[in-house]
Structures are given as C-alpha cells and as structure tokens.
C-alpha cells in the first residue's frame, strides 16, 4: 500500500486504517487495474473508487443508477472538501454547463452521472476532451436480468472499455450470488479484471423470524423497542403499505408510505424526509431501497415474505451501514407461502422462470423454518462457510424447541384427505378442533371422522403444523384451487406411520415484554454512560441545526458513531478532535470549533 493512499485516507476521510479488502482494491485501481468488487452493503465500497479518484490524475466518472440519490453522495464528498459534482436531468441547462466546464478545466475529482446521460453522443465526446482518472460502475448488478434491478442501459457500458481501453474500470455490487457475478463479468467485459470478494457477513445485524399471528400488533411491539430510530418496514402490496403506514402514524410513529403507485412528487418528498430527518419509519414495497445509503437505518422489518433469499439479504442489508447494532425482523406465516406460490403460478412468466422462482421461494421458506443459526444459513447460500452459533440471531439466542409431531401430522393429512383436498388451512383447523361454523355445516364436515380429533392443540399450534407440512413438502398448495391444500407423493409415508416427524414448537404469543426485550438493539444513547449520553444528545442537536441550515442530511455532517466517540472522549481542542475517526481536515475546519462549543455546554466548568 502506498503511503499516499493511507495519508489521504487519514487526511481527507479521517479514518485510521483501511477495512478488509479496501487497501488492495485502492492500490490496484490507483495503479490502473480493472476491478470487480463484491462487498456487502456497509462494507465500504465507495472508498474503493473515491480514494483512487484522488490519487490519479483527472476526474473519476461514477456511473450510478439513481439520480435522486446522487445529490446526497456528492454533498457528502463536498463536506469532506473533495471536488465532486453530478450531472443529471434534475439540473437546468446553466447548472449542467457549469459542471461540464469544471470537468474540462480539470476542476473535479469525481463526477457522478446516470447511465442514460453518460451514453449520449454529446457526453461521450465531452469525455473525449477531458482527462479521465477512472470509471466506477456502481450497483453493477443492474446489468443482470437475474435480479430485479435490471437497467438496460447498463448493458451498453462495455463501450467505455472499447473507447477508453487505457482507463481503469471498477465495478461494484453488494449482490453476491454466482449467476449475477458471472453475468456482470460477461456483460461488462470484465474478464481481465481482478475480483475482490469480501465476506458477506454483517456481524452488526441481528436476524429474527417470528411466526405471524397478528402481524400488525407484532410489528408495533417490535417498533416499541426502536422508538425514535430510523427504519424500513417492507410490505408486499401497495395497499398494505398504505394501511400499515396509516396505522403506525395513528400510534404516533413518524411513518411514511413509499410505493410505485404514489405520485412521483410524494415519493420523492417521502424519500427525502427519510434521508434527512431522524427517526422516520419508511413503510414501503421493494420499489424502495436501492442506492439508499443512509448509514443509520437501525432496523428492516418484513411484514411479508420476500421473494428470494438474495432479495431478503439485500433488503435487510440496508440496516446498519454504519456498523452499529441493527435488526432484521421478518414475520412469516403459511398464508405468505400460499400467496407467493399463487403469484408465481398465475404470472405470465415462462416455465423455466417459474421453476426458478419456485425454487427460490422454497429456499426462503427453508430459511424461515430452519432451527439452525440464521447467519450460517444465509452465508452458506452465498457460498460462504460460517461456524454457526453467531449469538446474534433468534435461533442462537433462544434455541427453538421441537416436539414429536407425527400424530398431529397424521391427523392433519388425514383431514385434508377426508375433506377432499379442497380446503385451506383455516377451515381444516376448524374441522380438527371441532368448531361449529357455517362452512362446516354447509359441507357436513361435522360428520367427518377427523372432526374434533385435534382439540388437544390450539389454532395457533395447528397453523404451525400445517405451515411446516407445506414447508417440508408433505402438503402442496393447489394454486388453481384457490390455495387449497393437497397431499403429495410424500404424504403417504407419514399417514402409514412409516415416518416420524419432528416439528418446531410454536413460541407463545408475543408478550409486550418479550418483544421489547428482543428489540432495542441499536438504541443510540442507551449504550453511553449518562453524562456522555447528554453530550451526545447535545451534539446531535447541533448537527440537526447545521444540517437544516445547509439543507443536507444530518449524516453527511457526522455519523452517529463519530458523535458518540466525541461524546465519550471529550476532546479539549482541535488537535484532539482530529484524532476521532470520521473527522478529516475538511470537517475539522468546517465544524471543529462548533463541536467544541457544543461540548463545552456540558463540561463540568459550564455547570458549576
């Protein structure tokens, strides 16, 4: 590693040392090599092109898919004293022209552009006249049709290599699965690029899967443990997004909706508030999230099953970019599996695609039902070994109990069979428990031999039985029959008693105390001693004012972790302040004095 890189890291960014693969990547690209960087969200990808941009002659061109987010990225760099700008359709002609002039004058270290702008003949010929330090292709998985972020313009980016073969390219993504990686290499002509693959573990994120019974209430209890914190709540449908956001707002939580059905202006305003204000809960479909690099998202909650494990990992990865404790929480029930299967079968995708989606869904259900370490399951999906026992997932923290469910499974399967394989779990449970409902009378199901044979278990326990039977392939969802449950070729072995079945015990209905004890992992001030906590709050208040005055997000001024360190070590002067991680020269000059003043309000001298 060159001394120059380390010097810049400390001087400009205020960090002591590189993380993981950063040092190797920076020196490789700074020396003119091509690179493909696979690093989880929060791993520190931006630095991998921002530092070489400073070390190399000319301007780094950063291709980024979302114009709405470029501004904040550029603002964060400017706060560090780096000469950065963006070009996109949100600007007027005058602004664009000024930025283009800066490019030609060599007055920019980094220039962010959207791919569609980059590919215009006009912009390409402009680049011909400029000195280009490197090309950084962010969110490189957008080139892949495999995922859900596909962007056709990304496919044309090979022309960069053709037109400027001597300019190094660095492609970056947090999507790690092998098919996507292969497609990136192929589509971006990166065969000769060096690949840097980091561990995809996110040790600061705690994973929890809860069995759905009253998901709205379960969510509210979960959120009680995260009062005042920023987070994302994902729902499957637009309608559910609206309803959930309204319900949370009615409880006094600052919740905003986000989905593709909202007016573009409302969407942009909500996103902006989420990025800029503290403590906003964004209730959203998966339309929300790509490129959101807000570092202090403390939780990501899923009210419905996501579509695949890689999607889940990417969505939950938006929590805790700053490395502080964060939570990934997922509520899952039989209804989700049925609904998603129906969505797959009823879509107009080809057979091949459907098979793929079915197998992705099965993998996800397997994850939910797993009794082993969640982290181990997640990482093994990305081809990475982990020893398990992570001490930071629900299964490790409270190992699930199991029971011999053979007899219950026989009762359930036989009830499916006797009622003609035409009903869903809710009705079957009523039959097993001997309920008196109109539907039972209508079908004369009180005369079935399985009527009332399951009164030893309550409805929730039965739901667990049916859910696990579907998950293990002992029952099948009849998609054309509106989600009715059917026997499979494997069911007979259980019915005949040739196979025993160990089922996971359903945890008791969540009590307020229980959920709260689980939550709150990331409460900011809670982890500080009382006096430091008061200093932290006063620093946060100062930061909020400074951010509003410049209308930038608070985190581009200082991250929570930096404020916390300042609150703890109480620097007495600018020299001491400069040693705190995240305080580079640019920020020291800009904010050093104000920080010391905010601290002084809490010093013993001031209170005396």
Smallest CA-to-CA distance from 298 within 311, 316, 286, 285 is with 316
Q: Does 467 bind ligand ADP (CB under 6 A)?
A: no
Which of residues 2, 4, 7, 19 is near ligand ADP by CB under 6 A? 19
Of 499, 427, 500, residue with least CA distance to 466: 427
Residue 207, phi then psi, degrees to nearest 5: -100, 135
Among 6, 10, 15, 148, binds ligand ADP (CB under 6 A): 15
Side by side, the strands of the sheet bearing 110-113 are 84-87, 110-113, 59-63, 132-137, 169-173, 35-38, 194-197
The residue among 64 and 370 lying less far from Zn ion, judged by its C-beta, is 370
Say how far apart CA 18 and CA 47 lie, in whole Å. 9
Binds ligand ADP (CB under 6 A): choice among 27, 46, 173, 524: 46
Residue nearer to Zn ion on the CB measure, 29 or 393: 393
Short-list 313, 295, 301, CA closest to 377? 313
Rounded Cα–Cα distance for residues 188 and 180 (Å): 12
Task: Write out the binding residues for ligand ADP, residues 526-585 only, by CB under 6 A.
Answer: 559, 581
Q: Which two tokens stand for residue 321?
A: 């970019």
164 lies in the site for ligand ADP, by CB under 6 A:
no
Q: Is 451 in the site for ligand ADP (CB under 6 A)?
A: no
Q: Burial code of 298-309, b = ≥16 C-beta within 10 A, e = fewer? A: bbbbbbbbbbbb
Q: Does 173 bind ligand ADP (CB under 6 A)?
A: no
Q: How far is Cα 485 from Cα 496, in angstroms, rounded to an integer?
A: 19
* Minimum CB distance to ligand ADP smaller for 366 or for 582: 582
Segment interacting with ligand ADP (CB under 6 A) among 16-24, 284-292, 441-449, 568-576: 16-24
Q: Is 321 in the site for ligand ADP (CB under 6 A)?
A: yes
Binding segment for ligand ADP (CB under 6 A), chosen from 12-20, 390-398, 438-446, 597-605, is 12-20
CB of 43 to ligand ADP, least distance (A): 4
The answer to whether 44 contacts ligand ADP (rule: CB under 6 A) is yes
Q: At closest approach, how far in Å is the CB of 377 from Zn ion?
A: 9
Q: Which does 393 bind (CB under 5 to 8 A by kind): ligand ADP, Zn ion, none?
A: Zn ion
Q: How many residues in total does the chain contain?
A: 608
What's phi and psi for 484, nearest 5 deg?
Answer: -65, 150
- Is 257 a binding residue for ligand ADP by CB under 6 A? The answer is no
Out of ligand ADP, Zn ion, none, what residue 373 binds, judged by CB under 5 to 8 A for its kind, is: Zn ion
Q: What number of other Cβ atoms are within 10 A of residue 347's Cβ?
A: 11
Q: Closer to Zn ion at the Cβ: 130 or 379?
A: 379
State the nearest-atom distance from the C-beta of 362 to Zn ion, in Å: 21
Tokens of 278: 């503290």
How is residue 217 written in tokens? 């209430």
User: Which residues of this chain interact with ligand ADP, rule CB under 6 A?
Assistant: 15, 18-19, 22, 39, 41-47, 293, 295, 321-322, 559, 581
């Amino acid at each position: 590693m060159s001394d120059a890189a380390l010097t810049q890291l400390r001087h400009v960014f205020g960090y002591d040392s590189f993380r993981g693969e950063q040092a190797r990547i920076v020196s490789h690209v700074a020396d003119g090599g091509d690179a493909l960087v696979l690093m989880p969200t929060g791993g520190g990808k931006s630095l991998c092109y921002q530092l070489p941009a400073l070390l190399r002659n000319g301007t780094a061109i950063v291709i980024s898919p979302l114009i709405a987010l470029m501004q904040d990225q550029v603002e964060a760099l400017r706060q560090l004293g780096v000469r950065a700008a963006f070009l996109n359709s949100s600007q007027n002609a005058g602004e664009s022209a000024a930025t283009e002039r800066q490019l030609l004058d060599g007055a920019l270290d980094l220039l962010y552009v959207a791919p569609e702008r980059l590919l215009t003949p006009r912009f390409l010929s402009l680049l011909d006249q400029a000195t280009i330090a490197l090309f950084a292709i962010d969110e490189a998985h957008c080139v892949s049709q495999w995922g859900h972020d596909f962007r056709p313009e990304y496919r044309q980016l090979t022309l960069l290599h053709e037109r400027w073969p001597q300019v190094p390219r660095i492609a970056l993504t947090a999507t790690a699965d092998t098919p996507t990686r292969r497609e990136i290499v192929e589509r971006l002509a990166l065969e000769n690029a060096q690949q840097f693959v980091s561990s995809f573990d996110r040790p600061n994120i705690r994973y929890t899967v809860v069995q759905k019974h009253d998901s709205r209430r379960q969510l509210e209890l979960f959120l009680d443990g995260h009062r005042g914190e920023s987070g994302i709540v994902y729902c499957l449908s637009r309608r559910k997004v609206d309803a959930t956001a309204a319900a949370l707002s009615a409880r006094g939580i600052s919740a905003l909706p986000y989905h593709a059905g909202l007016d573009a202006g409302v969407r942009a305003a909500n996103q902006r508030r989420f990025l800029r204000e503290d403590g906003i809960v964004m209730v959203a479909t998966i339309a929300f999230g790509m490129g959101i690099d807000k570092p202090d998202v403390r939780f990501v909650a899923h009210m419905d099953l996501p579509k695949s494990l890689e999607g889940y990992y990417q969505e939950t990865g938006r929590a805790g970019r700053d490395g502080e404790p964060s939570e990934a929480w997922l509520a899952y029930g039989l209804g989700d599996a049925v609904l998603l299967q129906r969505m797959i079968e009823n879509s107009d995708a080809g057979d091949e695609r459907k098979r793929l989606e079915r197998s992705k869904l099965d993998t996800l259900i397997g994850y939910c039902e797993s009794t082993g370490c969640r982290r181990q399951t997640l990482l093994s999906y990305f081809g990475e070994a982990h020893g398990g026992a992570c001490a930071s997932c629900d299964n490790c923290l409270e190992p699930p109990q199991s029971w011999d469910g053979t007899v219950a499974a026989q009762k359930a399967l036989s009830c499916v069979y006797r009622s003609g394989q035409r009903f869903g779990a809710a009705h079957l449970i009523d039959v097993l428990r001997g309920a008196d409902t109109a539907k039972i009378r209508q079908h004369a199901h009180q005369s079935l031999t399985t009527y009332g044979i399951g009164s030893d278990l309550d409805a929730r326990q039965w739901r667990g039985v049916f859910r696990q039977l579907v998950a293990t392939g002992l029952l099948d969802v009849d998609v054309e029959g509106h989600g009715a449950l059917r026997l499979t070729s494997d069911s007979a072995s259980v019915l005949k008693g040739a196979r025993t079945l160990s089922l996971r015990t359903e945890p008791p209905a969540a009590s307020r105390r229980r959920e709260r004890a689980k939550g709150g992992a990331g409460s900011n001030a809670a982890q500080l001693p009382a006096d430091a906590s008061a200093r932290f709050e006063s620093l946060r208040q100062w930061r909020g004012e400074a951010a509003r005055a410049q209308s930038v997000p608070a985190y581009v001024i200082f991250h929570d972790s930096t404020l916390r360190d300042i609150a703890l070590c109480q620097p007495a002067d600018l020299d001491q302040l400069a040693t705190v991680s995240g305080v580079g020269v640019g920020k020291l000059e800009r904010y050093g004095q104000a920080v010391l003043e905010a601290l002084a309000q809490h010093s013993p001298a001031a209170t005396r």
